[in-house]
Amino acid sequence: MSTYKELQDQIAALQKQAEEARKQEIAAVVNEIKAKMAEFGISVEDLGYAARGRGRKRGASGAYKYRNPATGETWTGKGRKPGWMVKALQEGKTMDSFLA
């Protein structure tokens, strides 16, 4: 009968083998998919997925609404207030005074 330690070692070895087999199978499937896509002229968009790097970039929230005239820094008015705006509000200024 095998000991607990021996069984754990066997499990680890089998998990490593399974991961290697998975990687090889995935590589083969990806190559097959790419070949079929090329053969039939299928794009990522045809599959219902957006192509990488073509969508709106994260953080790009549009035109700015507020501008700090002293430094030129801008803020769209969405999300957390920037430090310069917080400081100005604490000094008694209004957000309207920074409208672009």
CB atoms within 10 A of CB 66: 20
Residue-wise pLDDT tens digits, 8-41: 999 999 999 999 999 999 999 999 999 999 999 9
33, 34, 39, 41: CA torsion to nearest 10 = 110
Q: What is the pLDDT of residues 63-86, one digit of tens each?
A: 888 888 888 888 888 889 999 899
Phi/psi zone of residue 63: left (φ > 0), alpha (ψ -120 to 50 degrees), beta?
beta
**Could you give the CA distance from residue 44 to residue 72 in angstroms, rounded to a whole number?**
41
- As a whole number of angstroms, the distance between CA 23 and CA 41 comes to 26
pTM of the predicted structure, to 2 decimals? 0.43
